[in-house]
Amino acid sequence: MEPMKIYRHLLILAAMVVYLILFSSPAQAQTGISFESFETENDFPRSLTFKTVVTSDADIVNATLVFHLRNEFSSNSITRIDLDFEPGRRVELSHTWDTGAGTIPGAAIIHYWEVTDADGHQLRSHEMTVRYEDTRFDWQVRENEAIAVWWHDRRESFGENVFEIAQQAVADQRQRFQADLDFQMRIMIYNNFDEFAEWNGVTSEFIGGQAFPNQGITAQIVSAYGSQEQWLNDVVPHEISHLYFAQVTFHRRSEPPTWLNEGLAQFNEFGSQDRALQTAVNAAESGDLISLSLLETGFGYFNESRTRLAYAEAVSAVTYLVETYGDDGLAALLAAYREGQTTKEAFPSALGVALGDFEAGWAGWLGLDAAAYATPTRWALPTFRPSPTPFVPGASSTGTPTSPANGTAVSPTTTITPKTAVPGGTAVAQTNPANTPRPPSPTAQPDLPAIPAAFLTVLSAILVLGCCVAILILGGVLWGLSRRSS
Ligand SMILES: [Zn+2]
């Protein structure tokens, strides 16, 4: 190739580099808009306030705050807030998210800002994450990679005890579920009902704990009185089970039955389930058994004894399942849900029986005539009435997407564990409808600050200049060399 041609090629290359750098650099580099600061103010459990200061060469005319809870394996429900403010070249933006209707302590909130100025320039900040911590208490934390136990105003040995129970539960359940959680679980211990009720949207004295599988968080009430050790050995593994269940069955279309989720959670408790198993046998004998098909999408808030029966049947059916089909059968069933199969498909494909036949087998195991079990009239349960608030199925990986419009969005699906009235009784859990998380603390800082636009612009300019100079020098040298040699 001739020297001039080489030089021309190099010039074209230089032009291309300049073009690429100019037009592929981040949006920040092209606009006069830049973010001066970010801040959040935590007033747990009432509200979380997001703040930023933005400047531009032209008046800033539009601004939007976008935020959502971080979901460990489900899809996000995103909230967009179009902000009201006086246009100007430097504006202070702020939005207060009212979480008074219910929230999740420690939930990670992902958020970013979008701003437009009068010249039509747009700038989007980087995503930031803030934990909406329960700042009412001075928490102690004991953690490793898999587990974090949070407690307050109790001895260190208490936290250590909870941590050991959690470790044992994880060791058991990673076998049973044949999986490790993809995230560090957080176990929050509250010392009484009031501490818990203040942030929890759905409160009833019947509740003893609650799992938020999408956030990887469990919260449980552990009072200093009564059979505390026994309760810990039930509620901690129970809530952990909901986290595993949600992960190993998660699929956009999958809706594993509530009885399977709650049954497994009790099955995974350390305490004996004999009392619950006997309750199911008694219900079968008296003709009160609730059909499993009625326990698929929640247990509802019926009267307490009805709910208790639902939990008892759930652990009974799961015990039958594991005794009959083994851990492998259980794993196959969970995997079928993970593949997106419905219950109608999952039971035959994993266990070789339709749900109806499975249920008849279970009835036989309870001492009934399995053949008669399928007769619908015999098993109609007219008194089983769904609660006014619709229950979200199971471990609820589905997180109910709600109300993007007004900022109270984000409704994580959760699982509640009713407290057992009788020591040694089985812990029960219900799925709880939409819960709305609340605001973070005043000192919370975003952990991912956006890169200032000015910095990116300067960086781009330096790169462009450097590239051009280098290519021109190289071209000149090559040209010179080739002239000399020719
Ligand atoms: Zn439960």
Distance 262 CA to ligand 1 centre (A): 5
Tell me the backbone φ, ψ of residue 245, rounded to 5 degrees. Answer: -55, -45
Q: Residue range 5-13: average pLDDT?
A: 62
Tell me, what's the pLDDT at 56? 96
Distance 304 CA to ligand 1 centre (A): 15
**Distinct helix (H) and strand (E) counts, the chain:** 12, 14
Stretch among 77-91, 239-253, 373-387 having the lowest mean pLDDT = 373-387
Tell me, what's the pLDDT at 343? 95
Tell me, what's the pLDDT at 298? 85
Distance 261 CA to ligand 1 centre (A): 7
Distance 376 CA to ligand 1 centre (A): 28
Tell me, what's the pLDDT at 390? 24
Instruction: Report helix angle 343-351 to 355-365, nearest 10.
Output: 70
Distance 416 CA to ligand 1 centre (A): 5
Mind listing the pLDDT tens digit for each residue in 195-239? 999 998 866 777 889 999 999 999 999 998 778 999 999 999 999
Distance 242 CA to ligand 1 centre (A): 7
Distance 168 CA to ligand 1 centre (A): 18
Mind listing the pLDDT tens digit for each residue in 436-453? 333 333 323 333 333 444
Distance 430 CA to ligand 1 centre (A): 6
Stretch among 16-20, 278-282, 287-291, 445-449 having the lowest mean pLDDT = 445-449
Distance 260 CA to ligand 1 centre (A): 10
Read off the tokens for 338: 């993970």
- Decide if pLDDT at 416 tops 80: no
Q: Residue range 343-356: average pLDDT?
A: 96
Average of per-residue pLDDT values in the chain? 79
Tell me, what's the pLDDT at 371? 79
Q: Residue range 158-184: average pLDDT?
A: 96
Distance 301 CA to ligand 1 centre (A): 14
> Which helix H or strand E contains 61, and what residues bound it?
strand 47-69
Distance 149 CA to ligand 1 centre (A): 19
Distance 191 CA to ligand 1 centre (A): 19
Distance 46 CA to ligand 1 centre (A): 26
Distance 363 CA to ligand 1 centre (A): 23
Q: How would residue 4 be classed by pLDDT, with cut points 50, 70 and 90? A: low
The domain over range 33-133+440-450 is classified in CATH as 2.60.40.10: yes
- Report H helices in 147-227: 156-176, 193-197
Distance 468 CA to ligand 1 centre (A): 64
List, in order, residues 6 or more apart from 229 with CB less than 8 Å away: 161
Distance 477 CA to ligand 1 centre (A): 75
Rounded to an integer, what distance in angstroms lies between the CA atom of residue 69 and that of residue 103? 11
Distance 239 CA to ligand 1 centre (A): 6
Question: 417: exposed, middle or buried (C-beta count within 10 Å: 0-12, 13-18, 19+)?
Answer: buried
Q: Residue range 458-468: average pLDDT?
A: 49
Distance 364 CA to ligand 1 centre (A): 26
Q: How would residue 180 be classed by pLDDT, with cut points 50, 70 and 90? A: very high
Rounded to an integer, what distance in angstroms lies between the CA atom of residue 94 and that of residue 84? 9
Distance 366 CA to ligand 1 centre (A): 23
Q: Do the first three CATH levels of 33-133+440-450 and 139-197+202-432 match, i.e. the same topology? A: no
Residue type, 151: W
Tell me, what's the pLDDT at 195? 94
Mind listing the pLDDT tens digit for each residue in 98-143? 999 999 999 999 999 999 999 999 999 999 999 999 999 999 999 9
What are the residue ranges spanned by the domains of the chain?
3-26+461-485, 33-133+440-450, 139-197+202-432
Stretch among 14-23, 116-125, 426-435 having the lowest mean pLDDT = 426-435
- Decide if pLDDT at 422 tops 60: no
Cβ-based neighbour number of residue 406 at 10 Å: 10
Distance 327 CA to ligand 1 centre (A): 20
Distance 429 CA to ligand 1 centre (A): 3
More confident residue, 436 or 188: 188
Tell me, what's the pLDDT at 73? 78
Distance 16 CA to ligand 1 centre (A): 61
More confident residue, 294 or 168: 168
Distance 297 CA to ligand 1 centre (A): 13
- Decide if pLDDT at 20 tops 90: no
List, in order, residues 6 or more apart from 415 with CB less than 8 Å away: 210, 211, 212, 213, 239, 242, 261, 262, 265, 394, 395, 396, 429, 430, 431, 432
Rounded to an integer, what distance in angstroms lies between the CA atom of residue 264 and that of residue 241? 7
Tell me, what's the pLDDT at 3? 55
Distance 204 CA to ligand 1 centre (A): 15
Tell me, what's the pLDDT at 445? 31
| 302-307 long-range Cβ contacts below 8 angstroms, 24+ apart | 302/384, 302/385, 302/387, 304/206, 304/421, 306/383, 306/384, 307/206, 307/418, 307/428, 307/430
List, in order, residues 6 or more apart from 18 with CB less than 8 Å away: 464, 467, 468
Distance 150 CA to ligand 1 centre (A): 20
Q: Residue range 9-25: average pLDDT?
A: 53
Cβ-based neighbour number of residue 45 at 10 Å: 24
Cβ-based neighbour number of residue 224 at 10 Å: 10
Q: How would residue 318 be classed by pLDDT, with cut points 50, 70 and 90? A: very high
Q: How would residue 254 be classed by pLDDT, with cut points 50, 70 and 90? A: confident
Alpha-carbon radius of gyration of the chain: 29
- Decide if pLDDT at 80 tops 70: yes
- Decide if pLDDT at 461 tops 70: no
Q: How would residue 164 be classed by pLDDT, with cut points 50, 70 and 90? A: very high
Query: Cα dist. 287→96, 283, 361, 463 in Å?
Result: 53, 6, 16, 80
Stretch among 159-163, 367-371, 407-411 having the lowest mean pLDDT = 407-411
- Decide if pLDDT at 320 tops 90: yes
**Of 3-12, 182-191, 199-208, 393-402, which one has max mean pLDDT?**
182-191
- Decide if pLDDT at 60 tops 60: yes
Q: Which class is domain 139-197+202-432?
A: mainly alpha
The percent of residues in the chain predicted with pLDDT above 90, rounded, is: 61
Stretch among 263-267, 381-385, 396-400, 415-419 having the lowest mean pLDDT = 396-400
Rounded to an integer, what distance in angstroms lies between the CA atom of residue 391 and that of residue 299? 8
Distance 378 CA to ligand 1 centre (A): 29
Q: Residue range 13-25: average pLDDT?
A: 51
Q: How would residue 244 be classed by pLDDT, with cut points 50, 70 and 90? A: very high
283 near 308, Cβ under 8 Å? no
Distance 265 CA to ligand 1 centre (A): 6
Distance 311 CA to ligand 1 centre (A): 9
Tell me, what's the pLDDT at 249? 96
The percent of residues in the chain predicted with pLDDT above 70, rounded, is: 69
